[in-house]
Chains A and B, each alone.
Chain A
């Protein structure tokens, strides 16, 4: 199951449970899988056409009137409504859930106009916004449910289109703000978010086999509020933090982790992320390779950095 499929299914289930839930989209019903909710609950589904600013504020109106809306769009085009999100939803702390799909490089074929490498930075700077970036379809499903029932305020859920090798278990707990340890280790800690964590896990395996170090891999699915405790704990334990994300490191997960470390426990950090705009490609892996985000390249960069750190 892809991430967007998992989200689409979770929304339908929530629709059964919550009569006050409404889903709004901007001419991407099928692409975001919100059409499934629309088929089941046509009266609680609104397609505003190609207008993301209207999408965001229409959802704000629903929330003001006591509904629990989800607004769905491609991550890149949701950013077109950043000012609406800031001035209306975040400033009034409205209970609107923003579902941003096709994030990162996941819309590989459409090219750089459709690929979002800035959205986490734009969302995490907002005062009241909760920002969640699930690692795989299982986690995306759990995140939708947790955001709907446990967060009474604005939240941004960033999911990819299709690419998401399953790296968590159905039983893996999901709590907003609590990072999950995917692999424990003492020599360094790789902190990542989103489907790129699969590459980070493989990079950890490569490093262990090749040079005998044991990296921990941490799934930082909640970027805001970030799990400061886990970051500091692993900084103390390993002395070297690596962040990996399908986004620019400036303002992204890398920036968020660096802020925590600089304040609480200054530690050497290596930030790995997108190196520039994307491009159309036949697969997301082609883009990962171009941006040194495949496991082999991540491992190589960590190995080089380790030489600098340990000598």
Chain B
């Protein structure tokens, strides 16, 4: 049983070509890039195992959203590389997980980076353990979130401070949002501010997994053309297959290089890698079921 499910997980790190938006055209892959992608797949598998480890101790863990954002975070932290340290707050990169409910994925990344102990993961959502949403007192977590819609404004403020300190374009502020989160009006207040100010350090990444708390996004509230919404106010839009490292890396590189605010629309599947969730788009997994995936 365990081996078969492992294989299912392994598969999820692969190139899926399930682009649900516009076509992305990543450049041809070299042998070195192939090796890198294979490493990223291994990391992603470990991240997914850790997410399920957390889901196995607490049924309230948002496994679906964590699994959909996993490859995005792996591409960002281990493909692009996030400079977490700097002499000043404006001399480093920032990551804001605005869709804060996906924090298990971030904890799993921080464990991979050696900033968190594996054993800490078992204490998620306990009184003396990790918070259920990002909290800036956790090493490696830049900004406390959890209330949707606020991350992009915060990111714009940080990006503006980089301009004042002369590091604009040298460092980046990555803000990761959900597609459901786009319902929040504040996202568009922030998006128009960032476009008006031409904040080039700001990179938004939308994990377009097609679900929000109450169900599929098109049933709860249609989002229209997400790409058109961003581009009409002056953002550079790059679309990507959110489960293909080749596609994600190329999209992130393009967004970082763009001399203004850019957004990566990463099309993903909620619960990616865990068949039972991926089929239903569900958020929570039975802890007993999740236990099978722990090594």
B161 with A66: CB separation less than 8 A: yes
- A69 partner residues in chain B, CB cutoff 8 A: 157
CA distance A48 to B197 in the complex (A): 9
Q: Hey, what's the 0/1 contact readout for B149-190 against A, CB within 8 Å counting as 1?
A: 110011111111110110000000000000000000110011
A54 with B158: CB separation less than 8 A: no
B192 with A88: CB separation less than 8 A: no
Decide if B66 is an interface residue (CB 8 Å cutoff): no
- A88 partner residues in chain B, CB cutoff 8 A: 143-144, 147, 150, 154
A58 with B150: CB separation less than 8 A: no
Decide if B287 is an interface residue (CB 8 Å cutoff): no
CA distance A59 to B160 in the complex (A): 10
Q: Closest approach, in angstroms, between the C-beta of A83 and any C-beta of chain B?
A: 6
Tell whether A64 pairs with B146 under 8 Å between CB atoms, given A46-B197, A49-B193, A54-B189: no
CA distance A83 to B162 in the complex (A): 26
Decide if B136 is an interface residue (CB 8 Å cutoff): yes
B150 with A57: CB separation less than 8 A: yes
A53 with B164: CB separation less than 8 A: no
CA distance A65 to B161 in the complex (A): 6
Q: Hey, what's the 0/1 contact readout for B220-245 against A, CB within 8 Å counting as 1?
A: 00000000000000000000000000
- A294 partner residues in chain B, CB cutoff 8 A: none
CA distance A66 to B165 in the complex (A): 10
Decide if A51 is an interface residue (CB 8 Å cutoff): yes
Give chain A's interface secondary structure class.
helix
Tell whether A48 pairs with B186 under 8 Å between CB atoms, given A92-B136, A92-B144: no
Tell whether A58 pairs with B153 under 8 Å between CB atoms, given A48-B193, A49-B193, A53-B185: yes
A59 with B157: CB separation less than 8 A: yes
CA distance A53 to B162 in the complex (A): 21
Q: Hey, what's the 0/1 contact readout for B186-222 against A, CB within 8 Å counting as 1?
A: 1001101100110000000000000000000000000
B164 with A60: CB separation less than 8 A: no
- A53 partner residues in chain B, CB cutoff 8 A: 149-150, 153, 185-186, 189
Q: Closest approach, in angstroms, between the C-beta of B30 and any C-beta of chain A?
A: 37
Tell whether A84 pairs with B150 under 8 Å between CB atoms, given A46-B160, A66-B161: yes
Decide if B70 is an interface residue (CB 8 Å cutoff): no
- B90 partner residues in chain A, CB cutoff 8 A: 65-66
CA distance A61 to B199 in the complex (A): 13
Q: Closest approach, in angstroms, between the C-beta of B230 and any C-beta of chain A?
A: 16
Chain B interface residue count, CB cutoff 8 Å, equals 32
- B186 partner residues in chain A, CB cutoff 8 A: 51, 53-54, 57, 84
B189 with A51: CB separation less than 8 A: yes
CA distance A56 to B146 in the complex (A): 16
- A62 partner residues in chain B, CB cutoff 8 A: 157-158, 160-161
- Interchain CB contact (< 8 A) of A67 among B94, B164, B189: B164
- Which residue of chain B has its CB nearest to the CB of A22? B164
A66 with B88: CB separation less than 8 A: yes
- Which residue of chain A has its CB nearest to the CB of B162? A65
CA distance A69 to B154 in the complex (A): 13
Decide if B275 is an interface residue (CB 8 Å cutoff): no
Decide if A87 is an interface residue (CB 8 Å cutoff): yes
A61 with B154: CB separation less than 8 A: yes
A61 with B189: CB separation less than 8 A: no
Decide if A91 is an interface residue (CB 8 Å cutoff): yes
CA distance A66 to B90 in the complex (A): 8
CA distance A62 to B150 in the complex (A): 14
CA distance A102 to B69 in the complex (A): 44
CA distance A56 to B190 in the complex (A): 11
Q: Closest approach, in angstroms, between the C-beta of A59 and any C-beta of chain B?
A: 6
- Interchain CB contact (< 8 A) of B193 among A51, A56, A64, A87: A51
- B165 partner residues in chain A, CB cutoff 8 A: 65-66
Q: Hey, what's the 0/1 contact readout for A45-86 against B, CB within 8 Å counting as 1?
A: 010110101101111111111110100000000000001100
Decide if A304 is an interface residue (CB 8 Å cutoff): no
Q: Closest approach, in angstroms, between the C-beta of A102 and any C-beta of chain B?
A: 21
A48 with B161: CB separation less than 8 A: no
Decide if B89 is an interface residue (CB 8 Å cutoff): yes
A57 with B161: CB separation less than 8 A: no
CA distance A92 to B159 in the complex (A): 19
- Interchain CB contact (< 8 A) of B89 among A22, A46, A66, A92: A66
CA distance A88 to B149 in the complex (A): 11
- Interchain CB contact (< 8 A) of A64 among B143, B150, B185: B143
CA distance A130 to B36 in the complex (A): 51
Given contacts A58-B193, A61-B155, 11 further A-B contacts (CB under 8 A): A43-B164, A53-B185, A57-B154, A57-B157, A59-B157, A60-B157, A61-B159, A64-B143, A65-B158, A65-B165, A88-B147
Can you list 21 A-B contacts (CB < 8 A)? A46-B160, A48-B193, A49-B196, A54-B186, A57-B153, A57-B154, A58-B156, A58-B160, A60-B153, A60-B154, A61-B154, A61-B157, A61-B159, A62-B161, A64-B94, A64-B157, A65-B157, A69-B157, A84-B153, A84-B186, A91-B144
